[in-house]
């Protein structure tokens, strides 16, 4: 065997081993292209597609810190509703989660708002679903915001719709249908009022009465800066209801808002006022600063504070630290004088919506 044969044999052996190793080699799969979050503009600002689906998702919320006070000088007077403290604070947190998906039935959506509040002198309550409902086209069902939540104007000092619902809030469990055409919109709702403190309960069985339901209807109009709405709520058990109207318009730096409420008697939607009328004027000094007066004339129910009527005259100021289509941050403050308790009340509030 000569040297040439040895070299050729060695080369052949090396090639055979290399081929065997190549057959057993692990080939890495080519990386799949990354799927980036896509903006969903079909349902408004802030939505994005959940990766791998055609469902749009949106997160939002609000944080609000308020300090309020009066000039009672720590005088305790239960008849005037004062407890001795001449100042208090409150922190409110809201987290909103929305989803939307197109379907042959129209948009299918879910709306959830989680809320927590802390008031001075008490412990913080845990997060609860203030509202949570499913919507299909114009139909909605679940825990809804009553049309009674759509009340009041820009002023801090108005106190329309004082409910007897759970947590003294304006959320109800029910079903709703809404329809919109051009600048007009209409809506009707059936509410379950069994969680109201005014609800009836059988003394024998302890069960709620079947009459503990409510009915709501609202009509609204919006064209440019002109916005108005009228809604009515009826408590079938108490056989009393509430009617409320609001209109506002902006012209140049001026904003004018007018509101009126009438309740036929104490019911789940209004437990305090027989009627109220209110007016607010707001002047925008510039894009950041606005201020203006607010006046309210109101009458209590005959069974509440002797049915007396009073005035409240005050004013509010707003300074926007930041504002865009999806969020705003501002400081709000004001003073007011009430002929009921004859005191000058005040507040300062920092609020962030996102």
Chain centroid to Cα 193, Å, comes to 20
pLDDT at 167: 83
pLDDT at 228: 98
Is the pLDDT assigned to residue 207 strictly greater than 80?
no
Question: If you average pLDDT over each of 21-25, 77-81, 113-117, which comes out highest?
Answer: 113-117
pLDDT at 199: 83
For residue 262, what are the β-bridge partners? 243, 275
19's enclosing H/E stretch is helix 3-24
> Dihedral of the CA atoms 245, 250, 254, 256 (nearest 10)?
-10
pLDDT at 322: 95
Q: CA 1 → CA 6, 10, 14, 16, distances in Å?
A: 7, 13, 19, 21
Chain centroid to Cα 8, Å, comes to 85
Per residue, the 3-state secondary structure of 219-231, as one string, reads EEEEECCEEEEEE
User: CA 242, CA 267: separation in Å to the nearest integer?
Assistant: 8
Q: Which of 12-21, 130-139, 182-191 has the lowest mean pLDDT?
A: 12-21
Instruction: Look up residue 166 and give its DSSP letter.
Output: G
CB 94 within 8 A of CB 115: yes
- Other C-beta atoms within 10 Å of 131: how many? 21
Instruction: Look up residue 77 and give its DSSP letter.
Output: E
User: CA 99, CA 110: separation in Å to the nearest integer?
Assistant: 5
User: CA 112, CA 268: separation in Å to the nearest integer?
Assistant: 23
Higher pLDDT, residue 114 or 34: 114
pLDDT at 6: 44
CB 131 within 8 A of CB 96: no
Tokens 């969680």 locate to 195
Is the pLDDT assigned to residue 268 strictly greater than 80?
yes
pLDDT at 271: 96
- For the CA atoms of the chain, what is the radius of gyration? 31
DSSP 274-338: EEEEEEEEEEESSSSEEEEEEEEEEEE-TTSGGG-EEEEEEEEEEEEEEE-SS-EEEEEEEEEEE
Is the pLDDT assigned to residue 318 strictly greater than 80?
yes
251 Cβ neighbours under 8 A, 6+ residues apart: 225
User: CA 260, CA 160: separation in Å to the nearest integer?
Assistant: 9
Domains and CATH numbers, the chain: 30-353 (2.40.160.10)
pLDDT at 326: 86
Q: Is the pTM of this model over 0.85?
A: no
Higher pLDDT, residue 264 or 125: 264
User: CA 62, CA 123: separation in Å to the nearest integer?
Assistant: 20
Sign for the pseudo-dihedral over CA of 154, 155, 160, 163 = positive
- Residue-wise pLDDT tens digits, 87-135: 889 999 999 999 999 999 999 999 999 999 998 777 677 889 999 999 9
Give the mean model confidence (pLDDT) for residues 199-208: 65
User: CA 219, CA 180: separation in Å to the nearest integer?
Assistant: 10
Is the pLDDT assigned to residue 28 strictly greater than 80?
no
pLDDT at 7: 41
Is the pLDDT assigned to residue 219 strictly greater than 60?
yes
Mean pLDDT of the chain: 87
Tokens 């090396």 locate to 14
Give the mean model confidence (pLDDT) for residues 223-239: 96
> Dihedral of the CA atoms 117, 121, 122, 123 (nearest 10)?
80
């Amino acid at each position: 065997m000569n040297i040439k044969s040895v070299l050729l044999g060695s080369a052949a052996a090396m090639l055979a081993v290399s081929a065997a190793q190549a057959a057993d080699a692990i080939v890495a799969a080519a990386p799949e292209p990354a799927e980036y979050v896509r903006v969903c503009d079909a349902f408004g600002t802030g939505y994005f597609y959940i990766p791998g689906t055609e469902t749009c998702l949106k997160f939002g919320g609000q944080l609000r810190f308020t300090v309020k006070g009066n000039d009672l000088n720590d005088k305790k007077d239960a008849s005037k509703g004062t407890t001795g403290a001449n100042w208090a604070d409150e922190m409110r947190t809201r987290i909103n989660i929305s989803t939307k998906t197109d379907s042959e039935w129209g948009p299918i959506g879910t709306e959830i708002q989680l809320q927590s509040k802390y008031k001075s002198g008490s412990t913080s309550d845990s997060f609860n679903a203030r509202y949570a409902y499913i919507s299909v086209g114009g139909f909605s069902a679940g825990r809804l915001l009553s049309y009674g939540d759509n009340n009041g104007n820009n002023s801090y000092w108005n106190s329309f719709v004082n409910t007897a619902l759970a947590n003294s809030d304006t959320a109800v469990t029910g079903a709703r249908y809404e329809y919109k055409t051009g600048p007009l919109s209409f809506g009707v709702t059936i509410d379950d009022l069994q969680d109201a403190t005014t609800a009836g309960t059988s003394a024998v069985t302890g069960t709620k009465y079947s009459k503990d339901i409510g009915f709501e209807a609202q009509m609204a109009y919006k064209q440019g800066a002109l916005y108005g709405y009228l809604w009515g709520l009826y408590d079938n058990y108490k056989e009393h209801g509430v009617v409320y109207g609001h209109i506002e318009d902006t012209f140049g730096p001026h904003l004018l808002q007018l509101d009126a409420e009438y309740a036929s008697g104490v019911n789940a939607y209004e437990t305090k006022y027989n009627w109220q009328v209110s007016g607010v004027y707001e002047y925008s000094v510039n894009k950041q600063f606005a201020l203006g007066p607010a006046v309210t004339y109101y009458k209590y129910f005959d069974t509440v504070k002797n049915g007396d009527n009073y005035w409240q005259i005050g004013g509010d100021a707003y300074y926007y630290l930041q504002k865009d289509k999806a969020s705003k941050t501002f400081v709000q403050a004001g003073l007011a004088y009430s002929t009921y308790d004859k005191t000058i009340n005040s507040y300062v509030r920092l609020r962030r919506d996102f």
